[in-house]
Structure 1
């Protein structure tokens, strides 16, 4: 099954959830959100779909719909880094020696901003102050049942479904802040796309062979193809990401786990392999289209950023003062 949402300013999360049937969304009474449905261990999803099929309150053709994210309010968003080609390209060298040894041992991730989720047709603002704005094409697994310290086998049953995910990145800000020794923060804090569809796990399982999902992903800028990858190039299956995320802690319904950028899924790979002038960064007015096959298509226009308010540098003497306190 596939679920999507349309704009509705008077509803929780600003959206009305519906079941995708052929070329329309069928929306039942009640105005339940995807997060509501996920918190019921899957039974509510089936009941919602039955209501949408048998007695929809609204039937909205996709061609006429203003689509929102099906999950605009996830509790957490973890974004992983699981594609070898992307990791090599993004490091600015053309071979695996650019990849840290630990990358091969654990599916590393960082937490990103759950309040920055946008829908698949929304304008995307530049991050304040950036001159190197980039897209990153990904797929996200969405948790459907709470779990703690899950084994690999247990983790599989905790994935309710999947969605197209785009991690929009201010590369110059990201690289500057990461010289401090922490992961990306403001460089990836402005906006992330989730949607258009939430696709239940059984549909993705049908594309899976030996834990690899054969799902092409493509991206274009202003009508010109700029990247193409495939989810089957992931170095870990999604169940491994869930198991690792739950190690010593909880994953909860609605949690989003991004795959990391697919091979050839961002401009930074081209910059890393061919030089920083090999492709222009995204600019105001650019139109970026991402095609995730059965996960749907996202189309975004890049718009101006919010103002960048200046901050003073760190105050001198903080270290000396801190040594006098425990």
Structure 2
């Protein structure tokens, strides 16, 4: 199954992610989109889990189908939360070299799959022009993301790896847009990333159910799908998702450790190696420039699909004053 959200192509693209859009939701079947039955939504389908979704798919009414070419795809879900991992050793090595010139992954990276929470309210769709901050080191990050669905009898808390894997409803392509200069400043405070990532994540073009990728699983349970990223038509990075240090079941188990994952959560793999972002390439001595307004970024993941965005104009934000010196008095 492929699950999507869309609006008619004739409807104007919203000026910002905060502007509401009336979305249609349903399945992608060949070159058509087929709306869900009345009352069914992406959210309800994820909560119901894969078996219930398959029953809805089998009972779909194709008389209401619309050509895919006649619609504008939206982000395939409104995430409950977004966790983004850093699961590729090659990416860590390259970015570390870019930041401090040392390269390599710190010993702590090997101990557990680290992640951060990012902004579910600035999710972009394929085809959108993405406004960006006043950054001079704008970057992309090519990732595969897992989407969590419901499992009968499970709360989603403290899962082992096998149970966690059963919570994966499907996968989508993810671009974690990054302003490297903003990120570098804030992470010196030993917190973040925050504003260096806060402005946009692309998810799409749809959610592909786990069964469609089952043939790509290798003997160790990793998804051996090919991932590629192109800037202005030129191939910049390529990797196999199976090069990640932990399979998705273990990422989700770690996320649920002393915590919980719920339907609608999105968990990014982290940036693939082999040039999955410019930061890694800069760390390896590449002179490829940062992204500029007007650049096109296209990401393709085998068996899932592709997302394409154009970098928009830099958007000035209100200034923030420096911290004030304070007396540190303990009484008024």
Q: TM-score, normalized by length of structure 2?
A: 0.89
Which of residues 24, 31, 47 is equivalent to 2:32?
24
1:29–1:57 contact (8 Å) kept in structure 2:
no
Residue 154 of structure 1: CA displacement? 1.3
The answer to whether the aligner puts 1:78 opposite 2:53 as a matched pair is no
Long gaps (5+) in structure 2: 12-19
Which of residues 129, 132, 136 is equivalent to 1:131?
136
Evaluate the alpha carbon distance shift between residue 156 and residue 96 of structure 1 in structure 2; reply closer, same or farther with a 3 A threshold.
Answer: farther
Deviations 1:44-99 (A, max 9, x none): 412331232xx23632222332111111x111100000001100001117999621
2:46–2:149 contact (8 Å) kept in structure 1:
yes
The answer to whether the aligner puts 1:173 opposite 2:182 as a matched pair is yes
Superposed counterparts of 1:10-89, under 5 Å: 14-30=22-38, 32-52=40-60, 55-56=61-62, 58-71=64-77, 73-89=78-94
User: In 1, Cα distance between the equivalents of 2:247 and 2:139?
Assistant: 25
User: In 2, Cα distance between the equivalents of 1:84 and 1:170?
Assistant: 21
In the other structure, the counterpart of 2:14 is none
Evaluate the alpha carbon distance shift between residue 96 and residue 31 of structure 1 in structure 2; reply closer, same or farther with a 3 A threshold.
Answer: farther
Deviations 1:292-314 (A, max 9, x none): 12211111111113322101111
User: In 2, Cα distance between the equivalents of 1:138 and 1:110?
Assistant: 14
Evaluate the alpha carbon distance shift between residue 239 and residue 267 of structure 1 in structure 2; reply closer, same or farther with a 3 A threshold.
Answer: same
Residue 153 of structure 1: CA displacement? 1.8
1:16–1:31 contact (8 Å) kept in structure 2:
no
Residue 162 of structure 1: CA displacement? 0.8
In the other structure, the counterpart of 2:256 is 246
Aligned residue pairs, count: 315
Evaluate the alpha carbon distance shift between residue 312 and residue 213 of structure 1 in structure 2; reply closer, same or farther with a 3 A threshold.
Answer: same
Superposed counterparts of 1:106-125, under 5 Å: 106-125=112-131
Which is worse superposed, 247-256 or 289-298?
289-298
Which is worse superposed, 30-39 or 180-189?
30-39
1:172–1:187 contact (8 Å) kept in structure 2:
yes
1:28–1:58 contact (8 Å) kept in structure 2:
no
Evaluate the alpha carbon distance shift between residue 13 and residue 151 of structure 1 in structure 2; reply closer, same or farther with a 3 A threshold.
Answer: farther
Deviations 1:195-238 (A, max 9, x none): 10201111222210121211111111111111111101010000
Superposed counterparts of 1:199-278, under 5 Å: 199-209=208-218, 210-263=220-273, 264-274=275-285, 278=287
